[in-house]
Amino acid sequence: MTERIDTETVETLTGEAEQEGRRSADSSERAYHTIRKLLVEFKLKPDERLNEVQLSRSLGVSRTPIREALNRLASEGFVSLTPNRGFFVRSLSTEGLIDLYELRSIIECASFRLMCERADDAQIGRLTAYWASIVDGYQDNPPDEILVKDEQFHLLIAELSGNPELASQLAAINARIRFIRRIQIERTHDPRQVSSHSEIVAAAVRRDAERGVKLLRDHIEMTVSATQEALKDALLKVYTSTDSIISSRRRRNPREG
Amino acid sequence: MTERIDTETVETLTGEAEQEGRRSADSSERAYHTIRKLLVEFKLKPDERLNEVQLSRSLGVSRTPIREALNRLASEGFVSLTPNRGFFVRSLSTEGLIDLYELRSIIECASFRLMCERADDAQIGRLTAYWASIVDGYQDNPPDEILVKDEQFHLLIAELSGNPELASQLAAINARIRFIRRIQIERTHDPRQVSSHSEIVAAAVRRDAERGVKLLRDHIEMTVSATQEALKDALLKVYTSTDSIISSRRRRNPREG
DNA sequence: GAACGCAAAAGTGTGGACACTTTATTGACG
DNA sequence: CGTCAATAAAGTGTCCACACTTTTGCGTTC
């Protein structure tokens, strides 16, 4: 069976008819987003070797933009590169995820603290307004929506810290844990999420850094433990799906642990 | 005047004779390190447009590995990419640097805290041993050596936190502020650096997280103010050097702010 | 029949070509 | 003279070709 990628997912790239040669001038960019999406959505499985030729065929572009995309993804931690052997999907280990959650907690807590110090009332107002605009029926949203809204909420705090580096770091971390977060959100319909966010907003209004940091830490801590469980589901979900891109016979990279 | 890059710096790439075709299989990797070094050392100036053809000629490889290297450098924040216009050296603004120092402080303080919680005596021993091995005549080293040793010291703390993400984040941040740190170290021969490190080690041995965090914060804070001054020197150093690669008439990228 | 080695196949790494876009240059027009 | 348009030059984005490396497959040997 020749390995093929779900066309529905990839369509975006080949969308605009392309009988004749090149003209788009952003194949790399689109390849980057498409492959990244495949990674986030588990279409490409952990430890799997990425075949450049196959990817280029699937996305309808040559290997050059594929490689440029993979290089970017490599420095962002989505994939790894072994010389002369190619790119591999980042492995999915519990420890690695816990580390990322820990990093996220650090960035977010620091962001909140700085926001309390620096943000003026109008800026804090943006946070309360945003939360007010999504709080109604928050839990009734589909998981994808919840995920986006939750990420936006936390990202807004990072932006209000006044340090754009914090915001971009958080965005990068979010992208890397998104795949597991989505699964975790599907599993746990915890109403405490809502009250937790409300309390965080309240602490922000009072400029109560200590309280907010504690809330955030617990908020994230809570998800970490849920993640442990979600991970089992994830692994199941990954290794049982029939439309695997790579052929069934899966082998670990012999050069890595 | 055709723009040329100091050959002495670049030599590393063409070092091993290459009359006949290709065979190395790591041109991208070497291009990455070479260009990164050029950026760190100010050989390539802020806001300057990077000419791929020229770079490829200078480094003796084709544009393909150059572009792969630039893509990686782009996602690491060293350069930016504007479609159809190419790669530009990250601009050198005070605010941006302060943000990076702040991020560094956040990562380091969190690392220290975690190290105190998690590292066993043998691991703390590595820290004390490393510091003991470099403390003698620390300030007498050339600036480059001081920089490397200082970075290693702080990186070791991040590693001892037990969270590899923290270590890799810190390494990335260090690379981005290295160019200004070097200049700053040249300027300020502050003996407090030494005692500061010693105190940090002492706090680590006592597992005194609060004390260590305070020391680190002050330690970095101190450098930030020195950086403000160093920046003036840097800008001078950059824009007065006669063999500027960019022509005198300097224009900002019209598509950016 | 298991281990080894050799040859074919698959796959990555890089050079080079060329279309399209941006930038620089030239010349006409006000 | 300065502004604008047309044109030429330079530069990027992408494809393709091919060398070199790794992996697979097969036959040979003990």
Residue nearest to nucleotide C16 (CA to C1'): B62
CA dihedral B83, B89, B92, B97 (to 10 degrees): 90
Looking at per-residue pLDDT, the higher value among A231 and B99 belongs to B99
Q: Where are the beta strands (DSSP E) in chain B?
A: 49-50, 79-82, 86-89
* Cβ–Cβ gap B163/A72 under 8 Å: no
Write down the pLDDT at residue B157.
Answer: 98
CB A88 within 8 A of CB A125: no
Is the pLDDT confidence value at A113 over 80? yes
Report the Cα A112 to chain-centroid distance in Å: 21
Q: Is the pLDDT of residue B184 over 70?
A: yes
The pLDDT confidence band at residue B240, using thresholds 50, 70 and 90, is low
Residue-level pLDDT at B20: 35
Residue B61 in 3-state DSSP?
coil
Q: Is the pLDDT of residue A32 over 70?
A: yes
Over residues A208-219, mean pLDDT: 95
pTM metric for this prediction: 0.81
Q: Which residue has the tokens 């001892």?
A: B160
Cβ separation of A164 and B75 shorter than 8 Å? no
Residue A147: pLDDT above 50? yes
The mean pLDDT of B150-172, rounded to a whole number, is: 97
Quick one: which of B179, B192, B193, B191 has its CA closest to B231? B179
- Kindly state the average pLDDT of the residues A195-216: 96
Distance CA B33, CA B39 (A): 10
CA B65 to C1' C13 (Å) is 9
Strand partners, A82: A86
Sheet of strand A79-82: strand arrangement: A49-50, A86-89, A79-82
Asked if residue A24 has pLDDT above 80, the reply is no
Query: What's the whole-number average pLDDT of chain B?
Result: 83
Tokens encoding B66: 């150059």
pLDDT band at B248 (very low <50, low <70, confident <90, very high): very low
Residues B52-104 have pLDDT tens digits of 999 999 999 999 999 999 999 999 989 999 999 999 998 777 778 889 999 99
pLDDT at B253 over 70: no
Beta carbons of B103 and A166 less than 8 angstroms apart: yes
- Angstrom distance, A81 CA to C8 C1': 26
State the smallest CA–CA distance between residue A243 and chain B in angstroms: 31
- Of residues A64, A103, A166, nearest to B163 (C-beta): A103
Chains A–B, number of C-beta pairs less than 8 Å apart: 61
Give the whole-angstrom CA distance, residue B190 versus residue B58: 39
Instruction: Judge whether residue A69 has pLDDT over 80.
Output: yes
Alpha carbons B59 and B37: distance in angstroms, whole number: 13
Beta bridge partners of B87: B50, B81
Strand D and B237 CB separated by under 7 Å: no
Q: Which residues on chain B are in Cβ contact (under 8 Å) with A72?
A: 71-72, 74-75
Q: Would you call A137 exposed, middle or buried from its count of C-beta atoms within 10 A (0-12, 13-18, 19+)?
A: exposed
Specify burial of residue A143 (Cβ count, 10 A radius: 0-12, 13-18, 19+): middle
